[in-house]
Amino acid sequence: MARPGNKIIQAKLVLLGDMGTGKTSLVLRFVKGQFFENQEPTIGAAFFTQILSLQEATVKFDIWDTAGQERYHSLAPMYYRGAAAAVVVFDIASKDTFIRAKKWVEELQRQGNSNLVMALVANKSDLEPSREVDTEEGEEFAQENGMFYIETSAKTAENINDLFYEIAQRLAKACPSKPSTMNLNNEVQHRRKLFCCFG
């Protein structure tokens, strides 16, 4: 929860990536601590919120979990527009999803938002035996594109909190530090302003 005198960051976060890579699973693990073996495909996009408290700030995430199905690709801008953070997800056991992830990164780069915090997430790290994308390959691509790279498993919960914690930290750093007088309960009127630092 918010600490007194702490700044509050309201940040829109969007998850992108091929279908079945585990976007919804990552979010459900982070927001509700749940995991389902047979998570259904997302329709359009699902909306979640979660709050992370750091030493220096409290980050309120507005999370857009988009559908990876092809028919929704052209509508993605509607969801990533105005985002402060983007999480591009692929499945380590599928080369195709990595190729797809690269395309998402390119598309995001074209938006020219230099402040965008981007993460490249190699999910399903529990499927090591069937790995198709090497860690080095992922890391290298992430570095070239100014993203941070992390391997996660929504199934075992490995690195899930670290992923969001790291994003929160980067957002806090990017957000000029001022002591906040804003109360969390005022969120409604500020909901439309995304990634704004109150204070």
Pattern 149-188, ligand GTP, x by CB under 6 A:
----xxx---------------------------------
Provide the pairing of β-strand 57-66 with 45-53: antiparallel
Whole-angstrom distance, CA of residue 97 vs CA of residue 133: 9
Residues with Cβ within 8 Å of residue 182, at least 6 apart in sequence: 8, 198, 199
Residue 10 interacting with ligand GTP (CB under 6 A): no
Contact set for ligand GTP, span 109-138 (CB under 6 A): 123-124, 126-127
Choice between 40 and 144, CB closer to Mg ion: 40
Residue 152 interacting with Mg ion (CB under 5 A): no
Residue 47 interacting with ligand GTP (CB under 6 A): no
Strand partners, 16: 88
Residues at the contact surface with other proteins, assessed by CB under 8 A: 19-22, 24, 28, 36-48, 65, 67, 69-72, 75, 78, 81, 91, 93-94, 96-97, 124, 127, 130, 132, 155, 188, 191-192
Residue 37 interacting with ligand GTP (CB under 6 A): yes
Residue 103 interacting with ligand GTP (CB under 6 A): no
Name the residue among 71, 53, 80, 85 with its Cα closest to residue 180.
53
Q: Distance from CA of residue 48 to its chain's centroid?
A: 11
Contacts of 29-32 with CB under 8 Å at 24 or more apart are 29/154, 29/157, 29/160, 30/160, 30/161, 30/163, 30/164, 31/63
94 binds, among ligand GTP, Mg ion, other proteins, none (CB under 5 to 8 A by kind): other proteins
Least Cβ distance, residue 184 to Mg ion (angstroms): 28
Name the residue among 22, 85, 17 with its Cα closest to residue 50.
85
Q: What angle do CA 101, 106, 112 make, to 5 degrees?
A: 135
Select the residue interacting with ligand GTP from 6, 10, 21, 159 (CB under 6 A). Answer: 21
Binding site for Mg ion (CB under 5 A): 23-24, 42
Binding site for ligand GTP (CB under 6 A): 17, 19-25, 36-39, 41-42, 67-69, 123-124, 126-127, 153-155
